[in-house]
Amino acid sequence: MDMEKTVLGLKELLLNLLYFNSTYTIAELSGLTNKSIPSISKIVNELLEDGILIEDGLAPSTGGRRAIHYALNAKLNCYILTVAIDQHYTSVVVYDLHNKEVTPVHTIENHLDHPEEAFSNIVRLINELLTKHHLSADNILGIGVSMPGFVDNVSGTNGSFKDFQLFNIKKEFERVFAIPTFIENDSTAIAIAEQNFGKAKEISDALIINVGWGVGLGIIVDNKLFRGFSGYAGEFSHIPLSKSKKMCSCGKNGCLEVEASLSAAAEHFEERLAAGEKSVIQYEDSQNQLQKAQLLINAALGGDQLAISVLNKSAYMLGKGIATLIHIMNPQKIIISGRGAEAGKILMPQIQTAINEFCIPKISNKTVLEISDMKNAQLIGTASIVFEYSLTKFANLNKSLIK
């Protein structure tokens, strides 16, 4: 649970605990907060009366009277609008307070290297989603936006863009939609999701690697999100480990991204197809980058030798980068997440081979390497950011928001 955003009151703290852990008894909440059972009971009863909490069954018997579990009320007419942006695609969904989809996930091709079009495309997508599903801004607790780049989550800006609207994306969203908006780096959002709902839960020191069009990194140190001095820790893509002369998206040569990302794998695959190598994949002119990447992953999982070879090359370079991270951070666990996690069983052997080759065993043997099984981690992590920032507002919801 990322508690860096504010010092919470007891009511907000209870709601935060219930959001991230579904249900608790009063005794459990008392133990977690170090507050007395009468203090917890008083607040729980107030939240029950306001309709924000509900009773959610009985705890297992311990020989006496069975305790009641409490949970957030799923019937609250209160939602979180979540926007997940990457270099080439934007996805939007509305979640309830149990991170269940109120709408399907809507995804469009939307290239950030055309910033003058990208912002208006996102606005159009959100408006279409709200209109199609008859959702009002009055029922949206907040908008969460996660995207690649040098995101300053305090000022709400993204320093990777000169375009006014993408640079000032928080203020621009609030101007357009009149809904409180919160932004975060995409890999950080994925790390938050894994920490609170995934394989990094209850892990004190973890590295979450976002394998996508680039290679991002979220860092958990001593149970807390680590951002670094300027807030930009985790630029894993740009560690100079590659001998390739291909220029990285950052404008430099030698970055890990040019060999270890899905973009690099897809480009390498097409080069080998053009050189006459054979594959079950038949690309069509109408297919976009996401479809091609998915075909590559599916083919590898289905046993296609060229697809496996290409992903193995990327995985080995990724493992080389991970070996560097293990030496520096000595993490308890490393989790491969993001789009590339779907190809986990293909990636894992070569990642492990590189770790064995480049890492001191005394350090690496203490680190667990796992593939995430979380779907839509970036969207879920972004939604949880909105909830944490909006706790005071949520704790004082009007009863009219109950269905």
Q: pLDDT tier at 243 (50, 70, 90 boundaries)? A: confident
389: number of CA atoms within 13 Å, CB side? 20
- Architecture of the domain defined by 10-72: Orthogonal Bundle (1.10)
Given a cut of 60, whether residue 21 has pLDDT beyond it is yes
Residue 401 pLDDT greater than 70, yes or no: no
The residue extents of the domains of the chain are 10-72, 79-189+378-396, 202-373
- Residue 11: pLDDT band (50, 70, 90) is very high
* pLDDT > 60? residue 400: no
Taking only the tens place, the pLDDT of each residue in 191-202 is: 999 999 999 999
Q: Tell me, what amino acid is at 278? A: K
Res. 4: pLDDT tops 60: no
Q: Is 63 a residue whose pLDDT tops 80?
A: no
Over range 363-389, report the average pLDDT. Answer: 95
| pTM to 2 decimal places | 0.91
Can you give the pLDDT at residue 2? Answer: 47
Is the pLDDT assigned to residue 247 strictly greater than 80? Answer: no
Q: Is the pLDDT of residue 1 over 50?
A: no
CATH homologous superfamily for the domain 202-373: ATPase, nucleotide binding domain (3.30.420.40)
pLDDT in tens, 95-152: 999 999 999 999 999 999 888 899 999 999 999 999 999 999 999 999 999 999 999 9
Q: What is the mean pLDDT of residues 16-29?
A: 93
Instruction: Answer yes or no: is pLDDT of 3 > 50.
Output: no
pLDDT digit string (tens) for 312-351? Answer: 999 999 999 999 999 999 999 999 999 999 999 999 999 9
* Residue 249 pLDDT: 76
Task: Examine domains 10-72 and 202-373 and report if their fold is the same.
Answer: no
Architecture of domain 79-189+378-396: 2-Layer Sandwich (3.30)
Highest mean pLDDT among 59-68, 183-192, 280-289: 183-192
Q: Would you place residue 310 in the very low, low, confident or very high pLDDT band (cuts 50, 70, 90)?
A: very high
Tokens 């009063």 — which residue? 26
Instruction: With a cut of 60, say whether residue 7 has pLDDT above it.
Output: no
